[in-house]
Amino acid sequence: MTAAAIFVKTPGLSPLKTRLARDIGQAKAERWYLQAAAAVAELAQAAGLDAVYWAVAEANGQSYPAWTGLPCLPQGNGKLGARMARVHNTLVARHGASLLLGADAPQIDHEWLRGASQWLDKPEARLCLGPARDGGFWTFGANLVIDQVRWCSVNYSRADTCSAFKRAMSGLGVWQILPALTDVDEAGDLTAMAAELTNLTSPLPRQRQLLTAQRESQAED
């Protein structure tokens, strides 16, 4: 079975969406982030996964009200690669397969996650990857424990992160590549996010709320 972990930072405890905050203000950026995280949680649950967790960055962040609706996992210490390795390997040990998600691409089609879960729920070694349009990735999944060295050999938050990450994981199994999406990092990405939300055939309630809020914001501008 496949479980998902949504990587989140807690408002007031860690800086988050700093570039977006510079564009639209800290309060609006934090509000968008929490709405987006809730949308990702809703769609992950709608995908019928074995379990959905918040992977919380801060040791004292798990009691934050927005994170109380799902079980929490600590990301732990270290850079992003080490934290992803820790959460991924924990989920594989508990459930058999893992999908790691961010909170900044709420326009995921939940049927993609359902299909990825079914892909990973096989005895042979399998991996899946969802590229982001900025060169990163919006999800990674696998049904095997992966040595932390591979995760930490990648430079993250770069235009070549996705390709470098796939190379680092080469030779481990068969790949499934999911559609590319826009990660929201700055104000200009919100328009692309809204377009991708519009293209969903069956958007969920929180996705529709995000789209409505974005259209209202554009109308005000």
pLDDT tens for the chain, 221 residues long, are 999 999 999 999 999 999 999 999 999 999 999 999 999 999 999 999 999 999 999 999 999 999 999 999 999 999 999 999 999 999 999 999 999 999 999 999 999 999 999 999 999 999 999 999 999 999 999 999 999 999 999 999 999 999 999 999 999 999 999 999 999 999 999 999 999 999 999 999 999 999 999 888 776 65
Predicted local confidence at residue 217, as pLDDT: 79
d(CA 97, CA 79): 22
CB 109 within 8 Å of CB 183: no
Predicted local confidence at residue 220, as pLDDT: 67
d(CA 162, CA 176): 14
CB 84 within 8 Å of CB 100: yes
Q: Give 143's Cβ-side CA count (13 Å radius).
A: 18
Matching CATH number, 2-220, of 3.20.190.10, 3.40.50.1820, 3.40.50.10330, 3.90.550.10: 3.90.550.10
Predicted local confidence at residue 218, as pLDDT: 72
The DSSP H or E segment spanning 148 is: helix 148-152
